[in-house]
Each structure stands twice: as C-alpha cells, then as structure tokens.
Structure 1
Amino acid sequence: METTRAFESIVIIYNPNSTGDAPRLAERLKDRLAASLPDRPRIDLMPTDHAGHAVELARDAAAGGTRVLVVSVSGDGGYNEVVNGVMQAGNPEAVCAVMAAGNANDHRRTVGTQPLEEAIAEGAVRHIDLLHIDAGDGDGEYAHSYIGFGLTPVVAIDLEKGSKGALKEMVSVVRTFSKFQPFEIQHSDGTRQTLDSLVFANIPEMAKHATLSEADEQPRDGKFEVIAFPHMPKWRIVVTAARAALKGLGDKPSVGRYEFTTIKPMPYQIDGEVQSVPADTVVRVRSVPRALATIG
C-alpha cells in the first residue's frame, strides 16, 4: 500500500571520496529538488568522512520525529548504512531512498519503480521488508537486499584488496575461486552441513548479473529466499554460476527465519559490505515485514 507524503526536510548523504560520481549527483539532486518541490522543504547535503559515518548521519537526521526523507547517493553498501541509521532512530515518519552511485546498485536496480526525483515530487511512500541478522554482536544489523556466507564474501574481500576494473575483477575472482575452501555449519537439530555458499536474499538479483530466485521484485511478503550451494566440485560451481547469470536458479525456498551455528570464524557479506562472525556463534536471520518506508 502506498501513501502520499510531503517532507519537512530532506537529507542527502554521500561519500565525497566515492570512486563513482556521488558528489556531483548529490549536488544535482539538491538543486533539482529545491527548484521543483512546491512546499520548499529544507534540503541538506551531508558528506561522510569515515566508514560507518552514514549510520550516524542518518540516525541523527531521522531522530527528530519529523517527516524527513534521508537519501543515500551511493551503492548498496552506503545505502545499508543509511537504512541502519534510520532504523536505529525509531522514527515512523522517516523515509529512505537511494540514488544509484555505486558498482552493482542491486537494490536500486531491482526495487526501483521510477526516477527518484519524480517519486519524491509525488511523495508516494511504500513499505518493504528488511532482513535482520543477529550474529552474536548485540542488536544485530539490517540488510535491504541480501546476506551471504561462503564464496560471496571471500570474493568480495579479494576484490577490495585490488583495483576496480572489469579485467582486474575477473582475475581476482578466478584467483580467489581457485583457493576457496567450503565451510561447515550446524543446524538446531545438531546435524552439520558443508556448503560452498549460503545466501539469504530479499531481492531476486545480486552482483549485477546473477538471478537468484523467481521472487517478487518488491520484498513485502515477510519472507526471504534461501540459496544454498552444498559443497561440490569447482566445475559444478562454475556451471551453477553461469546458469544464474544466463537464466536464473529458479524457485528457491522462502522462509521467515533461518538459524545456524558457526563451526569456525567466517566472513559474511551484507549488502556489499563484509563483516565477520566468530566460531561457535548462533546466527539468526529473520524477515522484518514492511519495516522500511521507502520512495523511488
């Protein structure tokens, strides 16, 4: 269900050192909104100056209890920080949006319905589900798109060590894949499972090309898809990845909650950013239905 909302203030958060075009896009968005919105809301540009700063800026912007729109001019990782900041603020009047300025932009590409400036002018707000992960670190963290264990974060770590660029990315992926080892988890009934990859997906696509499931592009059913690759020969992983890129992986199980215990320390990727979880930790992933008010 959509509602129409006029905003009292708009905060645009961006990384001034982005490898993309975030500073210019943020400035242009501010100018165009200032010229087009009839109610003349206050519009502030807020650059970040360190990792995690967008969480703080978004939380402070949303904490006032007013009808505020917090826009992240970023990729999936920057938007993840903004979403978590707004959720921490606990303001039901706060709305999030993202203007794509990253590498993959999976969330914006998959969930976006119209140009952002037009959507803000119309004020058509809708609510979508979020993922929440509790990995033994307190309050946990929200994800707007996906959480991945295994091959996904390992490749991401290696890519961050090198330079961007299609050829260098491909070389990094091949190098990491050749050295990759499977991981083991324990389920609540005591059984153990060896996997190459385990992804919890709130959207049907990731990494620009891979179609993970046949799920609705708008995450609003209180469930997420579980894409698990049991350990297999590397050639079969290549075939599976190619199928995901070319025609998708088909229907996958949808659940509202998923729980397992780690055997060893392991990294995971959440909306493009890499975190880690210690050994012997109970990991709980759940859907939070229609938790995020969004626009665009």
Structure 2
Amino acid sequence: MDSARTFKSIVIIFNPNSTGNAPDLAEELQGKLKERLPYEANIVLRPTERAGHAVELAREAAAGGGDVLVVSVSGDGGYNEVVNGVMQAENPKAVCAVMAAGNANDHRRTVGTKPLDEAIAEGHVKNIDLLRIHTGEGGPAEFAHSYIGFGLTPVVATELEKGSKGALTEMLSVVKTFSEFEPFEMRLPDGKQHKVDSLVFANIPEMAKYATLSEAEAVPADGKFEVVLFPHMPKWRVVLNALRATTQGLGDQPSVSSYEFTTLKPLPFQMDGEVKHVEAGATITVESAHEALPTIA
C-alpha cells in the first residue's frame, strides 16, 4: 500500500563524468525540490569519484537513520550501486529513487509514471521487489533492481546500450555481437548439465531499450521474477530469438521465487548492466527479495 512520506534528508548521487548530463540534471532536481517541497529538507549533492563510490555514498546516507531519500541520477548501473548501498545500511526508513541519466535507464523507463520532483513532493512510497544473488564465494548477497543475466542476452544488451538510432540499428547490433558468442554450461540441483545460450532473471519486462523479455507487470512487487532461458541451439535460431526480443517480445516466461545452478567454468554475468564474474564450481542462487526496497517512481 502506498504511504505519503516526508524526508529530513535528500541525498542526490551522480557521476560528474556522466555522458548523460548527470551533473546538470542533479542540480536541476535539487533546485526543483527546494521550490516544490511543502516542508523543509536538507537536500545535498554527492558526486562520485570512482567506480563503486555510489555504494559507499548511499550506504553512508542511509546509515544515519531516520527518513532519508537517496536519489541516483544515473543509468541502471549507477542505480544498482545506490540500491546496494542502501540495502547494506539496513535502515527501514531509507527510500530510493532514480532520475534517468546515462546510456541505459530500463528501470526508470519501465516503472516511472511522472516527473521525479513531482513524485517526491507527493511522497508516495511503494515497496518493490529486488533480485538477490548469492554466488557461493563467501561474500555478502548482492541485489539487482531489474535483471541478472548470463550468456548471450547480457552480451547483446551491452552492445545495444552503446547507443541506438532505432530498431533496425538494434537488430544489426544483435547480429554482429552474437557471431562472436559461445554458449556456457551449467549444472542444476538435480545433477543434470545443460548447455545454455542465454539465461536472464528479469524483475522488469524490458531491458536494453527495445528488448521485451516477458509479459510481466511493469512494477515488480509479486515476490517472483521471470526466467528467460535460451538452451543452446543453431545460430540461426538464436538470431531469430534475439531479434524477436527487440521487435515483438518473447511472450510469457516462467515465473519463480528462486533459482539455483552451478557454474562449470568461470563465467561473466551482468547485474543491471554492471559486469561481474564468478569462478568455476560456484553455486549461484537467485531469489526474489519481496518488497525489499522502498522507492518513489
């Protein structure tokens, strides 16, 4: 259920070297909030200095306790860092929001409903699901707000995010990127091994601007996520499936609350566009963290 909220502190995190004009957008948002908010709030700008810095800034902002709003002026990757920082702080009163800046803004484009300054002034907070991933390598769990992907689809998404000029260009990028791709193998809990071209866990129905992964609801709050799996197949069929994702969409996909598999070789993967790696023999567990993130869209 939505609840109207006010915030004592609003921290706006942005990359000063962003290609999406994040510094100007952050300053503009700060100015609009000072004019629009019907209450007094400490509204500060926090530029990042290096990769991963947004995690630290968001954790610091939320760890102070109380009613705080942490806004990421960024693409999906920057917002991923902010979400993880806020989750690490374990402050139940901390709220997240994202303003689109950068190459890819799948989350904001999919769940956003109105100008962000207007939404913040209204104060309607909604808890949404996150994807929580454990890689079995001793570290803490990490979170994704939109998707986690292994194999072809994340590789294609990376190419698409470099800049699009229309659906035709997107399709040509898919064909080019796929020609260099190799499938990966994984083992499921029943012991069976599978060769896979692409495996994506999707918390939103779209990614990489044009790719429609499923027919799921736009706002993820059902405690489940979609599993979009392409088993290894002839390359011509892979191309058709990838092109179908960028044009008409892939249709209904299986919806689950958790998924587990083991890697057989070292493997790269993407979390909201950020590339990470796991070692061979890692047990990967992806779960739905139901309504884990309070957010303003």
TM-score by length of 1: 0.95
State the 1:38 CA deviation: 2.2
Match runs of 1:174-253 below 5 Å: 174-253=175-254
Aligned partners of 2:47 and 2:110: how far apart in 1?
26
Query: Residue 20 of structure 1 contacts residue 101 of structure 1 at CA under 8 Å; is this kept in 2?
Result: yes
Q: How many residue pairs were aligned?
A: 293
- Distance (Å, rounded) in 1 between the aligned partners of 2:191 and 2:52: 36
Q: Closer, same or farther in 2 for the Cα pair 1:110/1:166, shift >3 Å?
A: closer
Q: Which runs of 5+ in 1 are unaligned?
A: none
Distance 1:108 1:268 in 2: 22
1:24-78 per-residue CA deviation (whole Å, 9 max, x = no partner) reads 0000000110111121200000000000000000000000111000000000000
Percent identity between the two aligned chains: 68
Distance between the aligned counterparts of 1:156 and 1:245, measured in 2?
Answer: 10
**Using the alignment, how far apart are the partners of 2:17 and 2:175 within structure 1?**
28
In 2, Cα distance between the equivalents of 1:203 and 1:231? 24
More off after superposition, 79-88 vs 167-176: 167-176
User: What is the match of residue 267 of structure 2?
Assistant: 266
For the residue of structure 2 that corresponds to 1:238, the secondary structure is helix
Q: C-alpha distance in 2, partners of 1:178/1:117?
A: 44
- What are the superposed Cα offsets for residues 198-239 of structure 1, whole Å, 9 maximum, x if unpaired? 000000011110111111111011000000001111111111
1:131 equivalent in structure 2: 131
Range that drifts further, 131-140 or 67-76: 131-140
Contact 1:65/1:93 (8 A) holds in 2: yes
Unpaired runs of 5+ residues, structure 2, are none
Q: What's the CA shift for 1:292? A: 0.3
Give the letter for the 1:268 counterpart.
F
CA distance in 1, matches of 2:209, 2:172: 18
Q: How does 1:47-66 map to 2 (within 5 A)?
A: 47-66=47-66
Contact 1:153 1:267 in 2 (8 A): no
Contact kept, 8 Å, 2:69 with 2:95, in 1: the verdict is yes
**What residue identity is the alignment partner of 2:77?**
G
Output the aligned Cα RMSD.
Answer: 1.7
Alignment of 1:93-112 (within 5 A): 93-112=93-112
Distance 1:252 1:101 in 2: 30
> Which residue number in structure 1 is paired with residue 86 of structure 2?
86
Shift in CA distance, 157/110, structure 1 to aligned 2, threshold 3 Å: closer
Which string of whole-angstrom CA distances, capped at 9 and with x for unpartnered residues, describes residues 234-293 of structure 1? 111111122222221111110000000000001001001100110011000000100000
Q: Are the aligned partners of 2:170 and 2:246 in contact in 1 as well (CA < 8 Å)?
A: no
